[in-house]
Structure formats: C-alpha cells, structure tokens
Structure 1
Amino acid sequence: MYSLNAYRGMQFYGVLLLLPAAILLITFAYLPTANTLINSLYIPSFRGEPRTFVGLENYQDLLSDTTFWQVARNNFLYALGTIPTSIALALGMALLVNARLPGRGMVRMAYFTPTILPMIAAANIWMFFYAPQIGLFNKLLSIVGISGINWLGDPNVALSSVIVMSVWKEAGFFMIFYLAALQSMAPELKEAADLEGTSRWSFFWRVTFPLLMPTTLFVLINALINAVRVVDHLFILTKGGPNNATNLLLYYVYENAFSFFDRTYAATITVVILLVLALVATLKFTVLDRRTHYQ
C-alpha cells in the first residue's frame, strides 16, 4: 500500500512529465484556436479605430458568400479525388514492394522519392510538365497527333491536374505505413492459408485487408488533413485560378488574410474548417474505431 504522500508524489511526477507536451499544446494549438474563434466575432479596425464586435455576422456573410461555396465544393472534389486514389495506390505499391521481386529496394526508393521532395520543388517540376507550349505532357500528346491542353488554364481541367500532382506526391508517403504493417504480420497466416489452398485474392480480402484497417484509418486521417491544408503548391501552380477553379479552403483563408487583409473573415473560415475536422474526428473515434480490428 502506498502512503498518501507517496501517491501525491507520483501524481506530481506525472504532471511534470506531461507539462512540456501540455505547454506546447496550449501555446500552439488551444490558444491560437481560441484567438481565432474570438477574432471571427469582430470586423477589422480601420485607421487605428478599435475593432467592432459583430457576433455571428461574419458567419452569416459566409453562408451567402458564393466564392466560399465554390471553394468548399472544390475542396470536396479535391478530397474525393486524392484520398481514395492515394490510399489505393499506396496499398498496391506496398503489396508490390513487399513481394519477392528483383531490385525491390530500387523500386521502393523510386516510389518514395516524390515524398522527400519539398512541395515547392515538386510544384515547379509539374509546372514544367503542364506548360502549354513546352510542357512534357503536351509534347507527348503532339507525337500522337493530339492538340495540346491548357492543363492549368482550363477551368474544366485545372483541378484534376492539381489532384494528379497531389496523388503523385502523397502515395509514396502512405506506402511506407502500409509496408511497415505488412512486414509486421505473422508469416504463419500466409503459410496456413497456403496449406488450405486459399487464393491470393481471398487471402487479401479475408486476412490481409482486415488486419491493415488500423493503418488504413491512420492513413485516411492524414490524407484528409492533407486535403484541407493545401496552400504551397497552389501558390506555385495556379494561385487558385482560373476563376477560382482550383481555389481550396486553406488557400482561400490565406487570400483573405494576406491579400484582402480581412483577417476576421479568414478567422471565420478557419473556425468552420476546424468544426468540420472535429466532426470527422468524432465520427472516426465513435464509429470507425469500433469496426476496426486491432492486433
């Protein structure tokens, strides 16, 4: 039995261990979130005048902002295009490089190389691919007699072009998590399935994929976060154009805060983004986690 003083000493020791992480969370997460929420209830000051409290007026303006709804739709389509595709490609690449194939170390490196490139560098590379006159893709199309496409200047194609670049950048990163999960599986499972005469397809769907669900959930959350925090390569490739065809939520926040100097409206959009992410996180922890098998 511990004495009361010893018990309190252990509690104090635990608090000291948690204190550095708590300070970081409060300083860089909770306080900025609270400050953003407060700012969304005001309109900016002009010529040194104090800012004015307007309550939920900014949120009412947001609901009637057609540009915001276009940007939200763009972001939904961007997430719909990048998340499933990146996860499927990552899983396929992980299954491939986990198999016994010649030179699989080089294949792994080739798949992972886009991940280590800075986003600005990757965007500049793809800017060359997409260039209307001298771009690689239009040069290849001209070989087979197809006229060039304005990949980043056509509103009907620009968002898809950004999605393709994002998938290329993210799939190799997610592959690493799937590869680690595959290599941690007990080899006895495959040996038992071979003795039973189970096909590869059946073994994948009935054994491998269910055991990869924790990894899939982790990758899914990261892919969702990546789909919301897109700024840097939009700044290089399209700057949200043409006609807001590639403008996404966080870039719209950046525009309002630093181009239009309306930081309270930017704070309002940020609060809405945080609420959506909180809703998705709640869904993940209350519904998806219960349906996931953990080893």
Structure 2
Amino acid sequence: MKVSLHAVYGWLLLLPAIVLLAAFTHYPALATLWHSFFTTPKAGRPASFAGLDNYAAMRDDPVFWQALWNNLFFALGTIPTSVAIALIMALWVNRKLAGRSLLRLAYFTPTILPMVAVANIWLFFYTPQYGLVDQIAGVFNLPGMNWLGNRTTALPALMLVTIWKEAGFFMIFYLAALQQIPPSLREAALLEGASRWQYFSRILLPLLMPTTLFVLINALINAFRMVDHVLVMTKGGPDNASTLLLFYIYEVGFSYWDTSYAATLSVVLLLILSITAILKFQWLDRRTHYQ
C-alpha cells in the first residue's frame, strides 16, 4: 500500500503530543486501574491480587461517601456561580468604560495568584475575631464565627474562595468570545425591535455556547481536583465536613500509604469526570452553534 508523504508528515508532527499523552495520561490511568485490583505492597510482602476487595472496602467506607457528597455539593455550588459571575464580568468589561483595563486586571488578579497563597490570604480573612470577615460583621453588630471550624460553614467558606479565584479566569474566555461577535448583530437586533434581554438570550447566549461548553468542562475538572485549599485551610475538617474526593485520595495515598486503595478511589474519580463530561458534551453540543 502506497503511503502519502503528507500523511507521514502529519503523523510525525502529532507524534510528540501522542507520546506525551500516552506517557502522562493514558498509561497512568491504565496503571491506576490495574493497581486497584491488588493489595498495597509492604516491606517483605509483595502486592497480591485482591480482586474487587478494594472496591468492596470503598463501598463500606463512610469517609468516601462523605467526601463524594461534599464534592458533589461543592461542584453544584461553585460551577454555576463562577460561570455566571464570569459571564456578567465579561459583559461588563467588554463595554466602553473609563478605566476598563484596570477593571479587567482587577477581575483577573485572583487567577494569577498561586493557590496556596490564595488559601493563606483567605485563612487570614476567616480568622475568628481578628479576620476581615468578622471585622466586617462587627460593623453591623453581627456575632463572629469560626468559619472554618464549623461543620455548617467550612465547606461553603471553601466554595467562596474557589468562586473568587476562578470567576476571573473564566471571564477571560468569555471576553475573548464576546470580542469575536460582530457589533452589527446587536445593531440589527435593536433595529428589528428586540429588547436587550431578547438580544442576550436569543442571539448572544447561543453564540457563546462553544465557550460555555469549554468553561463548564474546565470548571467540572477544577471542582473535582481541588486539594490545595483544603490542605491549607481545613485539612478536611471539622469531622470530614470539608473533605473533598481528591484530598481524601491524597490522604489515603500519602498519609496512610495505602496506595492500592488510593488507586481505587482514583478510578472512581476518573469515572465520575468521564461520565459527566460525556453527558455535558452530548447535552450541550446539540445546543451549540459553531461558527
């Protein structure tokens, strides 16, 4: 069979990316699945085949279910909120405003800060009695609270930090998409008698759907790979109230050194992300208009 030189050249261009993807994504995923069926090797005791024992242990693990529930609540709270705020900010800074560049920079600044630095900043904000949050509450004669030490408020406090950091990042994508939309579309819609809401919901929002799909997938991944803020601010407490799935995997793998069980938890995390991403693509792709 005669192979085209162009086809060979194309595959050679793709080869570095394919090798890196296989080495750092596909192989680790398959290796993680393989190790989940074995016991954790110890000194003088090699790993042995355990079948589905790790998965049975996970099924009976109350901390795993607590972490999973926390992560679902975390995702449902942070993803829609951060995406909606990002869109509002993008619409705002896309207008002709005085000091527009400074406003864009202010919105984007939390994104460029390291996650550990952000966690430490907000750790100070949440400090009981002396933190910024309690100082503001004191101005309105509201009682102070240990925000990170209370089961009810620990996880919402982490969610607020995540929204604050991610909204500016997602805003950049929406801003880039808005600048690609011709102004003539808005002018034509207004000439036809469309209101601002009709222009936004019937024209602008459908044109932004490719960006929304991209942002939602990234927000989903970010919600399930959150570990830095938890590690610095709460360490999963109090009483696992703020334990997220990836933090639990980290804790099992590097604190308890149960690598096989950590691999089992990682397989579940990969399945959750894969299934959710596929459903999002199938549901949103039909509502997406690509230019």
Q: What TM-score do the two structures reach when normalised by structure 1? A: 0.96
Worse-matched range after superposition: 161-170 or 14-23? 14-23
Q: Which residue of 1 aligns with 2:23?
A: 27
Q: Which residue of 1 aligns with 2:13?
A: 17
Q: What letter matches 1:168 in structure 2?
A: W
Q: CA RMSD in A?
A: 1.1
TM-superposed CA distance for 1:134, in Å, is: 1.1
2:77 is equivalent to residue 91 of structure 1: no
2:51 is equivalent to residue 50 of structure 1: no
* Aligned partners of 2:224 and 2:246 also within 8 Å: yes
Cα distance in structure 1, aligned partners of 2:81 and 2:203: 22
Q: Which residue of 2 aligns with 1:270?
A: 266
Cα distance in structure 2, aligned partners of 1:286 and 1:183: 27
Q: How does 1:131-150 map to 2 (within 5 A)?
A: 131-150=127-146
Cα distance in structure 2, aligned partners of 1:112 and 1:259: 35
SS in 1 for 2:286: helix
Cα distance in structure 1, aligned partners of 2:283 and 2:152: 36
Identity of aligned residues (%): 57
Q: What letter matches 2:116 in structure 1?
A: I
Cα distance in structure 2, aligned partners of 1:89 and 1:43: 45
SS in 1 for 2:46: coil
Which blocks of at least 5 consecutive residues in structure 1 are unaligned? none
Q: Which residue of 2 aligns with 1:199?
A: 195
Which blocks of at least 5 consecutive residues in structure 2 are unaligned? none
2:121 is equivalent to residue 104 of structure 1: no
1:33-58 Cα distance to aligned partner (Å, 9 max, x none): 11111110011123321111111111
TM-superposed CA distance for 1:14, in Å, is: 2.2
TM-superposed CA distance for 1:8, in Å, is: 3.6
* Aligned partners of 2:213 and 2:281 also within 8 Å: no
Q: How does 1:129-208 map to 2 (within 5 A)?
A: 129-208=125-204
Among candidates 242, 248, 266, match of residue 238 of structure 2? 242
Q: What TM-score do the two structures reach when normalised by structure 2? A: 0.97
TM-superposed CA distance for 1:26, in Å, is: 1.0
Cα distance in structure 2, aligned partners of 1:72 and 1:259: 19
SS in 2 for 1:252: helix
TM-superposed CA distance for 1:172, in Å, is: 0.2
1:178-214 Cα distance to aligned partner (Å, 9 max, x none): 0111110011101111212221111101111111111
2:218 is equivalent to residue 222 of structure 1: yes
